[in-house]
A and B are shown apart, each in its own frame.
Chain A
Amino acid sequence: MNTDTLSTSAPISRKKSFNFGSFTIIAIALSLFIFLSFASDTFLSTRNIYSILYGVSFQFFAIIGFTYLMIMGEIDLSVGSVYAFSGMFMGYLMVMMKVPLLPAMGISLLVCVLMGMLTGFLVVRFRLNSMMVTIATLTLIRGLSSYFVKAMYGATYPPAMRHLSKIEIGDVYITIIAMVVLVIVLEILLKKSAMFKRMYFVGENRQTARIYGIKSDRIKIAMFAISALAAAVGGILISSRVSYADTAIGLGLEFQLLTAAVLGGASLYGGKGSILGSCIGLIFLATILNGMVIFNIEPLLQQLIIGVILIISVFIDTRLNKNN
């Protein structure tokens, strides 16, 4: 008797099982928070938490597009350099070319979006490895950034630009509010928007998505553009905060973002990840750093610890995801 063909007229369960990915990082971050709150008096102060969130909010913009691309199975190593470039270019336009704030911002963002589209086009049209292509674009854009650094001779950005990162609503910096709002909105979109759902489908199995009419090429190019745009926004904000062209901006950012995204549930093999998870990943990393500062642990140990965390979390990720 083949039970496979038993007709079931009973109502089917609609309960969604727990999304493991984000849950783990939230749990770990929460534990860390709790631990630090008990272990130190200074940790749980509003001022301290606030400064952690403020610091994270800049990188958060860059991780948005980065996460989307990881979901689609690609990796964009150029985010760090776009992050650096956008602010410096805008600053250059304002300082050296006397372009007003909004047009300067617009031009800079536009240029970054175009660079993203170019990257996306090359990856899709010539079926290139996104890691290789973005290593090339990273070098190129980093070079452009250095050009602007030199061109500005260390000049400080105009007040209008420097103010951007300091804008507040109520007593809260707008960047933090934007981050919270974006996390909520994007997370909802990720679960409920058709377009974002398609990204997951493409990331999991491009051929299948293709059979059912999903235009994976177009979506990929769009995501490269969005990644560049989001990193550019974050870059303008961080430049605004730093207030002059500093070559250290964005250095190694791509690796930090990779660590945070993977901690947050994204997989290098595509099909997994969420904005919420990536954001919590960033907060987690920042909290570790913060905790070490509070306990006067050698800040240099930070790199070490992050390295170990990264390996362990990816090891677990690989165990769970290497079904392919």
Chain B
Amino acid sequence: MLSNPVQSKTKVKLAPAFGDDDFIEIREISKAYGAVKALKGVSFGIKKGEVHTLLGENGAGKSTLVKIIMGEESPDSGEIIIGGKTIKIFSPEHAQMMGISMVHQELSIFDNLTVAENIFPTRYFTNTIGTINWSSLNRRAEESIAIFDINIKPKQKMESLTLAQQQMVEILRCISNNQQIILLDEPTSGLNNDETCKLMQIIRDLRDKGITIIYISHRINEVLEISDRITILRDGRYVCTYLNDKNLTEDDLVSAMVGRELSESLYSKKSFFDASANPVFYKVEGLAKKNALNPIGFELHEGEIIGFFGLEGSGLITVSQMLYGLEGKDTGEITFKNEKLSKITPPELLKKKILYLNNNRKKAGLLLGSGAADNMMMPKMDELSTLSFLNNSSIADYTEKYIHLFSIVIPNIFEKPRNLSGGNQQKLMFSMCIGTNPELMIVNEPTRGIDVGAKSEIHKFILEAAKQGTGFIIFSSDLPELMGLCDRIYVMKNKSIVGELAGDQIDEESVFALAAGSGRC
């Protein structure tokens, strides 16, 4: 058991993990993915008809726990008890049938159909003869929409809605279908202030009707606004549960989320390298895109490593992809080594020795079904071939060199990455980039979903490469990691840069305070 981080500055009410009137009991749930332990014996209870928030950083285990509740994963050990009965949830369909539903971050909408059909995909409002009563469907949809008071019509096609509107429809779907337990995963990440306030009201109404709501969010402001109780997870473990009364403050929550005993500190903070006197290596001005990013600008000086921190919906991933040309921008000028970059596309940037490390190696970034040597050669094909013929021995040497350099555990240079552990996959992806001797690397989540050992190795490689002259812009939602690597950190929130911290200014609580929270209702 981690020692309780709360040294009561104020009279904050800690709630017991379990109570007599618990509706849902999470008991000793553990889950590991290979060597990575995502959940370690998590136990706590959720009452009926309350808004119970799960709070924690990325990697704390929230998404894993939620996947288990929704039936997308099964726990390695432990059980879930609902209404006094131990339940095994086999699949999302099964969860639906039991009255549990979730609004994911990646929407599962039907964009070929209308709003009304998306709100009620399994309710058909049939007449006595069994045919669908469209006016009934549309009317009920209209009623649901009216509660929310959004500017959409039931007969509109989903494909003509913006992402934010689509998200709201999906929320409406859960709400309108008599589900007893609703999980909301970062539901406000695409919403503006007004829409967020409306959502808060809806959630309160639902709660008053006796529906249990499990809310997952990083936005401390919202969490304080809406929650009845808040459970904190950290590093896969249960920390504590707070009762959200008037005395609970942001500071309490933030320190519970990030607070670590000094002896448990994973990373030592980097000693600040003040590069402000050095020439500007890379500069971005006025980068923006309608509905996706407000204008931002920043600089990277020679010799320094800068980082970007932000929570869900802050625009972090958008920026990284725009810098590399994987997503289009409306405006923005990028200058590299005093030369304006006219074409922002991967081939052009590669020519300039700028490389990109993707945040989701399974989706893009590694070819899981092709050998390691094949992966390694991808960004370097021209150099590794003579007259367009691949130089197989050079490729083999090159691959072997980096396998040794980064201590990648792999039996054969033709082994497929899908057979490697997450840490080794990430190291492989990293070597693909470093092997090209990049001048600059745009790194998106350098150590997502890998074990502690591999994490620290990759951090060492980054620091080493930086010493050799490679510039780094690191985008990450893992704050301690950024603190261990970066000299300066830009903080993003709501699609803008809201702060820039350097050296001694950087500490977890200041950064988090800038990044978290949204406008008050």
Query: Which A residues contact B (CB, under 8 angstroms)?
Result: 2-9, 11-17, 192-195, 197-198, 200-201, 204-205, 207-215, 271, 323
Contact = CB atoms under 8 A, between A and B. Distances in A.
Given A197-B390, A210-B326, A12 B356 contact: no
A212 B409 contact: no
B379 A205 contact: no
Most-contacted residue by chain A among B346, B349, B418, B452 (CB, 10 A): B346
Nearest to A207: B364
Contacts of B346: 210-213
B407 A193 contact: no
B396 interface: yes
Contacts of B133: none
A52 B368 CA distance: 39
B390 A194 contact: yes
B421 A4 contact: yes
A5 B365 contact: no
Given A6-B409, A13-B412, A209-B378, A201 B365 contact: no
B407 A17 contact: no
Contact of B326 (A195, A197, A209, A211): A211
B392 interface: yes
Given A11-B400, A204-B369, A205-B364, 18 more contacts: A4-B424, A5-B453, A8-B403, A14-B413, A193-B389, A193-B390, A194-B389, A197-B381, A198-B381, A200-B370, A201-B367, A201-B374, A204-B367, A211-B326, A211-B365, A212-B378, A213-B346, A213-B349
Interface size class of B (residues with CB under 8 A): 35 or more
Most-contacted residue by chain B among A201, A205, A213 (CB, 10 A): A213
Contacts of A11: 400
A14 B400 CA distance: 9
Contacts, number: 118
Given A14-B413, A194-B390, A197-B381, A205 B367 contact: yes
A7 to B, nearest CB: 4
B388 interface: yes
A211 B457 CA distance: 24
A14 B390 contact: no
B519 interface: no
B392 A192 contact: yes
A212 B350 contact: yes
Contacts of A4: 35, 409, 421, 423-424, 451, 453-454
Given A5-B454, A214-B378, A194 B385 contact: yes
B400 A12 contact: yes
Interface string B216-258: 0000000000000000000000000000000000000000000
Contact of B381 (A12, A14, A17, A194): A194
A201 B451 CA distance: 28
A162 to B, nearest CB: 38
A17 B370 CA distance: 12
Interface in B323-372: 324, 326, 346-347, 349-351, 356, 358, 363-371
B369 A271 contact: yes
B407 A2 contact: no
Nearest to A197: B390
Most-contacted residue by chain A among B358, B381, B423 (CB, 10 A): B381
Interface of B: 35, 324, 326, 346-347, 349-351, 356, 358, 363-371, 374, 377-379, 381-382, 385, 388-390, 392, 396, 399-400, 403-404, 407, 409-414, 418, 421, 423-424, 432, 451-454, 457
Report the 8 A-B pairs with minimum CB-CB distance, sorted nearest first. A207-B364, A213-B350, A2-B453, A212-B379, A212-B378, A13-B412, A7-B407, A5-B453
22 contacts: A2-B453, A4-B409, A5-B407, A7-B407, A8-B404, A12-B403, A12-B404, A12-B410, A13-B412, A13-B413, A192-B390, A200-B374, A204-B369, A208-B364, A208-B367, A209-B378, A211-B358, A212-B432, A214-B347, A214-B378, A271-B369, A323-B418
Most-contacted residue by chain B among A7, A11, A15, A215 (CB, 10 A): A7
B371 to A, nearest CB: 8
A201 B412 contact: no
Contacts of A198: 381
Contacts of A209: 378
A5 B423 CA distance: 9
B388 A195 contact: yes
Nearest to B388: A194
Contacts of B385: 194
A13 B396 CA distance: 10
A321 B382 CA distance: 30
A88 B382 CA distance: 41
A12 B411 contact: yes
